[in-house]
Amino acid sequence: MWRRRPGVMALGMVPAAIVAALVIAVVVVLGANFAGIGAWLTPFAESWGENERELVRGAAGTLVVVGLLVLAFYTFTTLTLLVGDPFYERIWRRAETDLGDFAPAPLGFWRSVGDAILLVLRAIGYGLTTLAVGLIPVVGAIAGPVVGALLGGHLIARELTQRPFQARGMGRDARRGLLRGSRARELGFGVMTQLTFLIPGGAIIVMPAAVVGSTLLARELLARADARAGGPPETRSGRALDSAPGRSAAAD
């Protein structure tokens, strides 16, 4: 898709860049006011000894910054999709058109908003879970990142496949069941996408391709479900993108 539709894909980098800049700005502001945040959260320590007071305030400030980073880790994709919905819808439609066998219809606005709110709430819950696991003595240092990657990957796969599934009239329960039936593929796609986001600038570069990848994943899961049910033949794979007929530069 980067080779065939460079204009459309390049536009898809803009929302991730905006959200990344906002997240970095918030983290920098909090880091610059680290001591003040710790003091504001621990007024009860004002009468303590200096060493104890600074220790508690430092821990409180650290917890806030770490918590924000964990929350950003989980909500980044959701926020990026919300900010860049028109950009990513255009990429998705191009991918669906090139792959064929499906004519994208307009998506319900309020249904999309409702699903986005649920995903944000789920992201916050996953973030708190990861933070809690990371605080477990001894095992938390290893278990926290592992749990974070798995939960984050699961969430990203659900977020990114939401659009192609919704366009086919699938509700939340149907989407959940389809992903549950191919958990390894769901996590393989989601975790790998999540890990690339950890590379500086990775999210900005990867998000447009992740939208295309999620479209391919949704089609593959639907084809696998049809095959198990004895339905239509398997949907064409991602190689169809390479063989799809070209379009003019003006079309992009």
Q: Are 64 and 53 in contact (CB under 8 A)?
A: no
What range does the domain containing 146 cover? 6-244
Running DSSP on this structure, what letter comes out for residue 26?
H
Running DSSP on this structure, what letter comes out for residue 233?
P
Would you tell me the crossing angle of helices 140-167 and 172-180 to the nearest 10 degrees? 120
Within-domain flag for 108 = yes
Within-domain flag for 249 = no
- Distant-in-sequence, close-in-space partners of 39: CB < 8 Å, separation ≥ 6: 57
Q: Are 191 and 150 in contact (CB under 8 A)?
A: yes
**pLDDT tens across 221-251, in order?**
998 888 877 755 544 444 455 544 444 433 4
Within-domain flag for 159 = yes
Within-domain flag for 1 = no
Within-domain flag for 156 = yes
Q: Are 87 and 11 in contact (CB under 8 A)?
A: yes
Distance between CA atoms of residues 95 and 247, nearest Å: 12
Within-domain flag for 250 = no
Instruction: Name the percent of the chain lying above pLDDT 90.
Output: 14
**pLDDT tens across 80-131, in order?**
888 888 888 889 989 998 888 877 666 665 566 666 677 778 877 887 888 7
Q: Residue 54 is encoded by which pair of tokens?
A: 């600074």
Within-domain flag for 252 = no
Domain count, the chain: 1
Instruction: Output the pTM of the full model.
Output: 0.74
Within-domain flag for 251 = no
